[in-house]
Chain A
Amino acid sequence: MEGPRRSEQPRFLPSDLGRHAILLVLAFVSLFPLILTVSTAFKTEQDVRVNPFGLFSSFSMENLVTAWTVGDFGDYVLNTFILSVPSTVLVVVISIMAGYAFARLPFPGRTVVFYLVVLGLLVPFFTYMIPLYFQLQGMGLLNTLPGVILVLTTTGLAFGTIFMRAFFSELPPELEQAARIDGASELQIFTRVMLPLVTPGAGALAVFTFLQNWNNLLVPLLYLPGGDFRPLTMGLYVFLGGRGIDIGPLAAGTLITILPVIVLFIVLQRQVTRGILAGAVKG
C-alpha cells in the first residue's frame, strides 16, 4: 500500500490523521477564494443582491451570460489568446536559438550579450515601463498588436534563454562531435541532433511562458490604452473600476479569467512545476 521507503521516513506528527486534518484545513483556506468565486458566479441575480457571498445558495447561468455578452468577456478571451499565443511561440523559439548559441557555440561578444540578456532577470519591469511607453509612442507601436506582443516576448526572453541554455549545456559534447564526423553542418547539428533532445524543456518553457502572458496585466494596460485587443486581465481590471458593484458578473468574469489557467495547470502541472523549480534554482 505504502511506498517501500515509507518505513524509514521521519514522522513529524504523532499520527498521520492529525497531519491530514491540519493539511485539509490549510488546503481549504488556500482554495477558499476559488470556491467563493465559483459560488458567486453561479448565483441568481436576486440572490447576489441579498447574499452575494453565501456559499452555493442558488444556481443560475445568468451572470456568466451577462459577463460573456454585456461584459465583453467573450472578446477578452479571444484577445488574450491573440496576445498570449504569438508571444509564447516567439519566446520559446527565440530562447531555444539563443540558448543553444550561448551553451554550445563560441562567437565573438558572447559573454557581453549574455550578460545583457541576463540583466533582464534582475531589473523589474516597472523600472523601464515609463520610458518604454514613450519609446513605443515614438516608434508608432503604441496601441498596436505587434508592439504589445514584442514587449511581452522580450520580458520572457531573459528567463527563457537561461532556461534553454541550461538544457543544452547538459548534453554530452560527444553527440555533436559524432555528428560532425558524419559530415553534418553546424545548423544540422543544432536542428537534427540537439534540438530533439530538449523538447521536454521547451514544453515546460512554453507552458510557463503562456501562463505568465495570460496573467500579465501591466503590459496591455500601459501599451494598449486605446482599448483595442483588451485581454481578460485588463477587462477584469476595467470592469472592477467601472462596474465593481455588479458582483455577479464580476465573479463570472473572474471565473472566466482564471478557469483556463487552473485547467492548464492541473493538466500540465508537471511541466509548470518543473519550469518554476528550474527557474528558481538556476535563476
Chain B
Amino acid sequence: MASTDSGPAVTRRAQARLGIALVAPAAILVLLFFILPLANAMYFAVIRFDGVNPNPPFVGLANFTQMLGDPVVWRALGNNAIWIAIGTAAPLLMGLVIALLLWNVGRGSLWYRVAFFIPFILPGVAIGVVWGWIYDPIRGWLNEVLRMVGLGEATTGWLGNPDTALYAVIATAVWASVGFAIVVFLAALQSVDADLIDAATIDGAGAVQRTRHVVLPQIMPIFLMVATVTLIGGFSVFDIIFVMTGGGPAGATEVLGTYAYSNAFQFNRISYGTALALLITILAVPFTIGLNRLQRRMSLYRTGA
C-alpha cells in the first residue's frame, strides 16, 4: 500500500475526499445489489415465504431441519460430492498432463493453446446444446464411435439414462474447464527452474521422476490455486446441469443448486430454496479458507526458500 507517508494534512484530506468519491459508485452498487439481497437471503431462510404472502411467518431454523428429512437434499448432496471429486480431480490431472505435453512444444504451441482454451470461454447454453447431440441416443457421435470400435453394447441414451446422466454432464464440464487448468499450468511452468531439471537428468532421473520430484513441487502453489477454483466451482455448479438435464432424469443429476432453483421458481417454496442456496455457500466456506491457507503457506515457503 502506498500512503504510509501521506504527507501534510491538506493532502490527506484531499485524498480522503477523492477516495470516498471514487469508491462511492462501487460501494452503492455492491450494497444495493449484493449485500442487501444477501442479507435478505438470510432473512428468507428463517421465514416461510411463498412469494405472495406479504406477512410471512417466522419459522426459525425449520427450513434447515426440513432439509434433514428431505431425501432429494441427500441425493443432491451426494451428486454434489461426486461432482466435486471428479470435476476437480479430472481437470487437474488432465490439465497437468496436457500442459506438460505442451511445455516448450515450440511450433504450434499457440494454436494448441487456443484449441484447448476455446471450450472454457463458450457460454454454457451452447455447450449444453452441442453435447446433447453428442450424447444423442440414436445418432449421437458417442454411440457412433462406440459402435465403430465394437462396443455397441455400451451405447445408451447418455442423458436420459439415470445411471449415466450425471457422469455425462460431468464429462462435459470437464471438457469445458480443462483448458483453464492447461493455460494456468503452462504459465506456471514458464517459471520452473530449467537448471534443476538438467541437474536431475544428469543424476539419471527419468521423465516421470523429474516431473514428480522437480517440476511438481515448483508449481504446487498454482496447482492448489486451480484446485481451489475448481473445487468451489463444484459446490456451486448450476448452469451446465440446468441447461443439459434440469436435474433429471428422475433426479439423477439433481444438485443443491438446481434443487434450490426449482423450489424457488417452480414450486414457489421461496424460503426453502433460499435456505438450500445458503447451505451450499456455508458448506463451501471451510474448503475455500482451508485450501487458500494451504496455498498461501506454500507460496510463502517457496519465496522464502
- Listed in ascending order, the chain A residues whose CB lies under 8 Å from chain B are 2-3, 5-6, 8-13, 16, 19-20, 22-23, 26-27, 29-34, 36-37, 40, 51-53, 94-95, 97-98, 100-108, 110, 113, 116-117, 119-120, 122-124, 126-132, 134-135, 150-151, 153-154, 157-158, 161, 169, 173, 176, 180, 185-187, 190, 211, 214-218, 222, 232-233, 236-237, 240, 247, 250-251, 254, 257-258, 261-262, 265-266, 269, 272-273, 276-277, 280-281, 283
Contacts and interface: CB of A to CB of B under 8 A. Distances in A.
Contact of B121 (A40, A123, A180, A211): A211
A135 B25 CA distance: 19
Given A33-B130, A131-B44, A280-B225, A258 B194 contact: no
Contacts of A269: 114, 117
A240 B244 CA distance: 10
A79 to B, nearest CB: 14
B207 A10 contact: yes
Given A3-B106, A26-B98, A261-B122, A106 B15 contact: yes
A267 B157 CA distance: 38
Nearest to B277: A127
Contact of B19 (A2, A6, A110, A169): A110
A81 B241 CA distance: 26
B88 to A, nearest CB: 15
Given A12-B207, A218-B239, A272-B121, A132 B37 contact: yes
Q: Which 3 A-B pairs have the closest CB atoms?
A: A107-B19, A105-B19, A131-B40
A266 B121 CA distance: 11
B19 A106 contact: yes
Interface of B: 1-3, 5-7, 11-12, 14-20, 22-23, 25-27, 29-38, 40-41, 43-44, 51, 98, 100-106, 108, 111-112, 114-119, 121-131, 133-134, 136, 139-141, 144, 175, 179-180, 183-184, 187, 194, 197-198, 201, 207, 210-211, 222, 225-226, 229, 232, 235-236, 238-239, 243, 257, 260-261, 264-265, 270, 273-274, 277-278, 280-281, 284-285, 288
Contacts of B7: 180
A187 B11 CA distance: 11
A24 B44 CA distance: 52
B139 A128 contact: no
A34 B118 contact: yes
Nearest to B11: A180
Nearest to B210: A10
A116 B20 contact: no
Contacts of B284: 124
Chain B CB within 10 A, most for which of A31, A124, A233, A236: A124
A132 B38 CA distance: 8
Contacts of B278: 127
Contact of B30 (A104, A105, A116, A280): A116
Contact of B123 (A95, A103, A214, A240): A214
B226 A280 contact: yes
Nearest to A131: B40
B225 A107 contact: no
Contacts of A123: 34, 38, 281
Contacts of B236: 124, 126
A8 B198 contact: yes
Contacts of A105: 3, 15-16, 18-19, 22
B56 to A, nearest CB: 11
Contact of B238 (A20, A110, A126): A126
Contacts of A94: 25-26, 29
B140 A176 contact: no
A19 B103 CA distance: 10
Nearest to A257: B126
Contacts of A217: 123-125, 239, 243
Given A30-B115, A105-B19, A23 B105 contact: yes
Contacts of B44: 130-131
A194 B169 CA distance: 46
Given A23-B105, A29-B175, A281-B222, 9 more contacts: A30-B118, A97-B23, A116-B30, A131-B44, A180-B11, A186-B11, A217-B123, A217-B239, A273-B183
B117 A273 contact: yes
Nearest to B118: A262
Nearest to B270: A130
